Structure 1
Amino acid sequence: MAEIVTDALVGTTLAAWLVTDPADRRSVIFAWSRSLVEHAVDHDTVYLCDDESAAAVWLHHHLGGSSCVEDREQLDAICGPHVHRFLTLDRLFDLHHPTEPHHHLRFLAARPDMRYLGRGNALLTHHHRLLDASGLPGYFEVNDTLAWDSYAHHGYRPGSPFGDPGGPQFWPMWRAPRLPRAR
């Protein structure tokens, strides 16, 4: 799963901002992704398509807290000289994160050769059924406005943008649970 996330992230402006040295980028993004995926496998919800073409990582936020706690020492070991950007990203996300209980989509990724084939939509639809049945909202941060239409189809609405000066801009995306349709 971390390979899928890395493949999806490594060519983005976010990855370039997080790890400015192209020689380090893949290995650092992989190690960071792997630590988050491993934590989610143990404590939250992860999905992997049968053909290993796409993955989704959902973190459970209950009563305003996250089940994903990144240890500074672990982050230093993973990110090395790039740790300050990862800490900035964490701070930004923490400052703008909703406090009500919800599930946070940390990663939705498909292998580059498998993008735009509906796998991400299928993973979202599956988890949204669980969220709707539980009455829980969904949340994530996006730094590409081109993706808004796809997420709007799933009921997500963008909030006010935030970011670090000189860094990427993010839009919080919120999806209220949908009520079951009357038959």
Structure 2
Amino acid sequence: MNTPASIIPALRVAETDDIDLVADIVAEAFEDLDVIRFLVPQQTRRWSVSRAWYRLYIAHAIGGAGQVVVTEDHSAAAVWFDRTRPFTEPDQYSEQLVKLAGDALPRFRHLDAQMDAHHPTDPHWHLLFLAVRPPRQNHGLGARLLAHTHARLDADGIPAYLEATSPQNQRLYHRHGYTDMTPPTIEITDSIPLYRMWRPAGTD
């Protein structure tokens, strides 16, 4: 679907039939992120390996662990997890990760361990992926997706947490009520940080 850049499409909650669609959106949006290049250095494998990994989490969120919101034009999606209750991994996550990652497995395990070690313990919703296909970036879709879920979280008095992947994204989230945490970063490598950010309810 092609949508003019000036039009913000409607949103809907993704369902099981949307799992592959959302995996495609995230894979396209994230292919050039530094952290994804770290996980899968081989460009020829990056799309397929990372997409399979995203798909595990997307299916888990849609299956009841959280919520996935997608634009009607299939250009953007937000993948949230409900961390107001005990966290669960995707079904058979360890086994599935071994199958999909191949020789990248130690890097995926390193990322998982670092993110788990730095995850806040207070009840919240976790924005794991906010993805916009490159042709539609910088047209307000990410902001629209954030506002959609923030409104519900605010009504319920629930804070939100995320790991921004760059200073540019960090600035976007600052504009939507997120603040830097202590410690402010997760050092995936010496040159690849993730930025820990927290949004109290009602701060947009």
TM-score range relative to shorter protein: over 0.9
**Deviation digits for residues 3-58 of structure 1 (CA, Å, limit 9, x no counterpart):** 00001111111111000111111110111111111111101100010111100000
Match of 2:35 among 2, 14, 22: 14
Structure 2, unmatched stretches of 5+, are 1-21
Q: Is the 8 A contact 2:177 2:203 kept in 1?
A: no
Report whether the alignment pairs 1:173 with 2:194.
no
Query: So what's the TM-score if we normalise by structure 2?
Result: 0.83
Report whether the alignment pairs 1:155 with 2:169.
no
Match of 2:45 among 17, 21, 24: 24
Looking at structure 1, the residues matched to 114 and 97 of structure 2 have their Cα atoms a distance apart, in angstroms, of: 16
Looking at structure 2, the residues matched to 13 and 179 of structure 1 have their Cα atoms a distance apart, in angstroms, of: 30
1:8–1:179 CA distance, 2 compared to 1 (3 A)? closer
Looking at structure 2, the residues matched to 116 and 106 of structure 1 have their Cα atoms a distance apart, in angstroms, of: 20
Looking at structure 2, the residues matched to 6 and 57 of structure 1 have their Cα atoms a distance apart, in angstroms, of: 13
Q: Is the 8 A contact 1:163 1:169 kept in 2?
A: yes
SS across alignment from 1:162: strand
Partner of 2:149: 127
1:179–1:145 CA distance, 2 compared to 1 (3 A)? closer
**Deviation digits for residues 84-124 of structure 1 (CA, Å, limit 9, x no counterpart):** 11111110010000001100000000111010111111110
Letter of the 2:199 partner, please give it: R
Query: So what's the TM-score if we normalise by structure 1?
Result: 0.92
Letter of the 1:114 partner, please give it: R
RMSD between superposed Cα atoms in Å? 1.6
1:9–1:179 CA distance, 2 compared to 1 (3 A)? closer
Report whether the alignment pairs 1:84 with 2:106.
yes
SS across alignment from 2:81: strand
SS across alignment from 2:83: strand
Deviation larger for 51-60 or 70-79? 70-79
Looking at structure 1, the residues matched to 46 and 203 of structure 2 have their Cα atoms a distance apart, in angstroms, of: 42
Partner of 1:100: 122
Looking at structure 2, the residues matched to 97 and 116 of structure 1 have their Cα atoms a distance apart, in angstroms, of: 28
Q: Is the 8 A contact 2:24 2:51 kept in 1?
A: yes
Looking at structure 2, the residues matched to 137 and 58 of structure 1 have their Cα atoms a distance apart, in angstroms, of: 12
State the identity as a percent. 36
Deviation larger for 156-165 or 6-15? 156-165
Displacement after TM superposition at 1:143 (Å): 2.4
Structure 1, unmatched stretches of 5+, are none
